[in-house]
């Protein structure tokens, strides 16, 4: 399996040579997708404009049709399934560092509540709302083709506008609850970021509590209130994502993955993986046809 872990690699599958920190689609029909799951290290907004597609996101299966959109954050694992003959979509990919340049708050995107399922959201909306987002994407594509002195700043502004409009639609469609206290929300966001950065080396709640300068008990309380999950559950979910990505690389043995993820043995890694997926690592590779 080939793992597409960055924007350039993902687009190269479609023979698109993108050297920028963002990409806006033309909305043309897509006839081929990567067959294997891949992890993104960029943000994505994809709007289905016609037809339908079966898609698996973080091991959850969905059918997405017209006027539905996907908003996904880095670390999300995506696997494309079957599409209808008339399937088309518009999409935007961008790197966070490009967007938040000159922005003082590094969690500005997360605070928009765009990711109701942890690292992604799928929302079915109205044709009017869908057209609004598509028009902004069309405007964004048009501006990106004209290189001028302020092109990058214009593109940043349009992307921010697009994200805020998306957040507004999600607020209406999902009737999201009012935002939590900022201090507690920030702690949860910092905790999530730390886990993504350290998951291969650190899995104890105490490590993250120490890094955030709070007590173990306080961290458990805040994470539970913010996400409905315990810190251990959040850590295990992130570790499982990492395992999926590494198992997708047929050049790495299961023993090497266990070592890389700090398990005491391959059997300990196998027990962890099977507990969360009902499959052993080797059974998963057979199921996904991942062969060395």
How do the domains of the chain map onto residue ranges?
7-174, 182-287
Q: What are phi and psi of 129, to 5 degrees?
A: -65, -40
pLDDT recorded at residue 6: 56
Supply the pLDDT for residue 23. Answer: 82
Confidence class of residue 31 from pLDDT cuts 50, 70 and 90? low
CATH number of 7-174: 2.60.120.280
Whether pLDDT at 105 is above 70: yes
pLDDT at 180: 44
Common-topology check for domains 7-174 and 182-287: no
Note the pLDDT tens digit of each residue in 107-120: 788 778 888 777 88
3-state secondary structure 118-157: CCEEEEECCHHHHHHHHHHHHHHHHHHCCCCCCHHHHHHH
pLDDT of 3 above 50? no
Contact 22, 98 (CB under 8 A): yes
Which pLDDT score, from 0 to 100, does residue 185 have? 72
Among the residue ranges 11-15, 236-240, 271-275, the one predicted with the least confidence is 11-15
* pLDDT tens profile 198-224: 998 899 999 999 999 999 999 999 888
pLDDT of 41-92, one tens digit each?
789 999 999 999 999 888 888 999 999 999 998 878 888 888 998 998 898 9
pTM above 0.85, yes or no: no
Q: What's the confidence (pLDDT) of residue 7?
A: 57
Residues 6+ apart with CB under 8 A from 195: 208, 234, 235, 238
Residue with more model confidence, 10 or 222: 222
| Alpha carbon separation from 23 to 52, 128, 149, 155, 216 (Å, rounded) | 22, 24, 19, 11, 41
Top mean pLDDT of 11-15, 25-29, 46-50, 286-290 is at 46-50
Could you tell me which residues come within 8 angstroms of residue 167 by beta carbon, excluding any fewer than 6 positions away?
A: 112, 113, 114
- Kindly state the average pLDDT of the residues 27-45: 75
Neighbours of 14 (CB within 10 A): 13
What integer pLDDT is reported at residue 11 of this predicted model?
67
Q: What's the mean per-residue pLDDT of the chain?
A: 84
pLDDT per residue as tens digits for the range 141-184: 999 888 888 988 999 999 999 999 999 998 887 554 444 455 66
The SS3 call for residue 77 is: strand
Contact between 173 and 116 (Cβ < 8 Å): no
The pLDDT of residue 225 is above 90: no
* Tokens matching residue 207: 């490590």
| CATH architecture, domain defined by 182-287 | Orthogonal Bundle (1.10)
Q: Give the model's pLDDT for residue 10.
A: 64
């Amino acid at each position: 399996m080939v793992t597409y872990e960055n924007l350039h690699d993902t687009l190269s599958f479609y023979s698109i040579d993108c050297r920028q920190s963002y990409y806006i689609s033309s909305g043309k029909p897509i006839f081929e997708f990567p067959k294997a799951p891949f992890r993104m290290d960029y943000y994505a907004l994809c709007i289905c404009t016609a037809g339908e597609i079966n898609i698996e996101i973080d091991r959850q299966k969905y059918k997405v049709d017209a006027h539905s959109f996907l908003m996904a954050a880095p670390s999300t694992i995506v696997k494309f399934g079957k599409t209808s003959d008339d399937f088309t979509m518009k999409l935007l990919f961008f790197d966070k560092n490009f967007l938040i340049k000159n922005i003082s708050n590094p969690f500005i995107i997360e605070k928009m509540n765009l990711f109701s399922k942890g690292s992604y959201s799928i929302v079915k909306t109205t044709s009017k709302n869908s057209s609004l987002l598509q028009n902004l994407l069309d405007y964004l594509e048009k501006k990106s083709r004209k290189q001028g002195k302020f092109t990058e700043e214009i593109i940043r502004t349009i992307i921010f506008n697009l994200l805020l409009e998306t957040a507004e639609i999600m607020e209406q469609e999902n009737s999201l609850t009012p935002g939590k206290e900022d201090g507690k929300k920030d702690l949860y966001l910092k905790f999530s970021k730390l886990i993504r950065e350290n998951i291969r080396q650190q899995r104890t709640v105490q490590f993250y509590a120490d890094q955030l300068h709070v007590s173990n008990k306080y961290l458990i309380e805040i994470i539970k209130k913010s996400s409905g999950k315990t810190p251990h559950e959040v850590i295990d979910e992130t570790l499982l994502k990492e395992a999926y990505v590494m198992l997708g690389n047929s050049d790495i043995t299961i023993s090497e993955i266990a070592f890389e993820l700090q398990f005491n043995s391959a059997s300990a890694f196998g027990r962890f993986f099977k507990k969360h997926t009902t499959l052993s690592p080797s059974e998963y590779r057979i199921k996904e046809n991942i062969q060395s």
